[in-house]
């Protein structure tokens, strides 16, 4: 589990524009697509909605419950999205020393062991698709094409 403190979440909220339950300009559909495309994560998994269904609450829950590498990957992907938004809008930086503070946060999360005595099992994020099962189903479908027309019917 990633060691993200309450104070860290204040910075994350500020960096990723998470006021009012939002995350940047994402809709429910686009944040799910973002997590699928960038991280192969099913962001709609009900386990991320334990604290509420807003995008910000699901993101906080995700960051609290997944393994540290998955949390860091999500933070880095969101940081890249933030930089893209800023370039598109041509805006100025609204957070003092944003990049330095972000890198400090990521470095601390990666280097800090979990709190002593925690026994919560680490869990990988839920994948967006079960690729192994998809391959099995594809194989079964291809086997059907080799049957005669009547048995295949």
pLDDT at site 1: 67
User: Is residue 23 within 8 Å of residue 56, measured between CB atoms?
Assistant: yes
State pLDDT tens for residues 43-86. Answer: 999 999 999 999 999 999 999 999 999 999 999 999 999 999 98
For range 92-110, the mean pLDDT: 89
pLDDT at site 147: 81
Q: Which residue has the higher pLDDT, 23 or 123?
A: 23
Q: Which of 66, 72, 88 shows the shortest CA–CA distance to 8?
A: 72
For the chain, report the end-to-end CA distance as a whole number of angstroms.
50
User: Is residue 49 within 8 Å of residue 76, measured between CB atoms?
Assistant: no
- Domain ranges for the chain: 6-152
User: What pLDDT band is residue 123 in, cutting at 50, 70 and 90?
Assistant: low
- Residue 72: count other Cβ atoms within 10 Å of its Cβ: 18
Question: Three-state DSSP class for 41?
Answer: strand
């Amino acid at each position: 589990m990633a060691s993200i403190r309450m104070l860290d979440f204040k910075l994350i909220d500020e960096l990723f524009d998470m006021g009012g339950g939002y995350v940047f300009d994402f809709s429910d559909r686009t944040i799910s697509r973002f997590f699928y495309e960038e991280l192969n994560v099913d962001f709609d998994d009900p386990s991320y909605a334990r604290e509420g269904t807003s995008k910000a609450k699901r993101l906080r829950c995700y960051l609290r419950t997944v393994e540290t590498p998955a949390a860091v990957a999500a933070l880095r992907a969101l940081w890249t999205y933030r930089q893209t938004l800023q370039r598109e809008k041509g805006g100025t930086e609204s957070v003092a020393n944003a990049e330095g503070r972000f890198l400090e946060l990521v470095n601390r999360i990666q280097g800090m062991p979990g709190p002593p005595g925690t026994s919560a099992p680490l869990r990988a994020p839920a994948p967006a698709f079960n690729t192994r099962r998809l391959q099995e189903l594809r194989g079964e479908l291809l086997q059907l094409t080799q049957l005669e027309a009547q048995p295949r019917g």
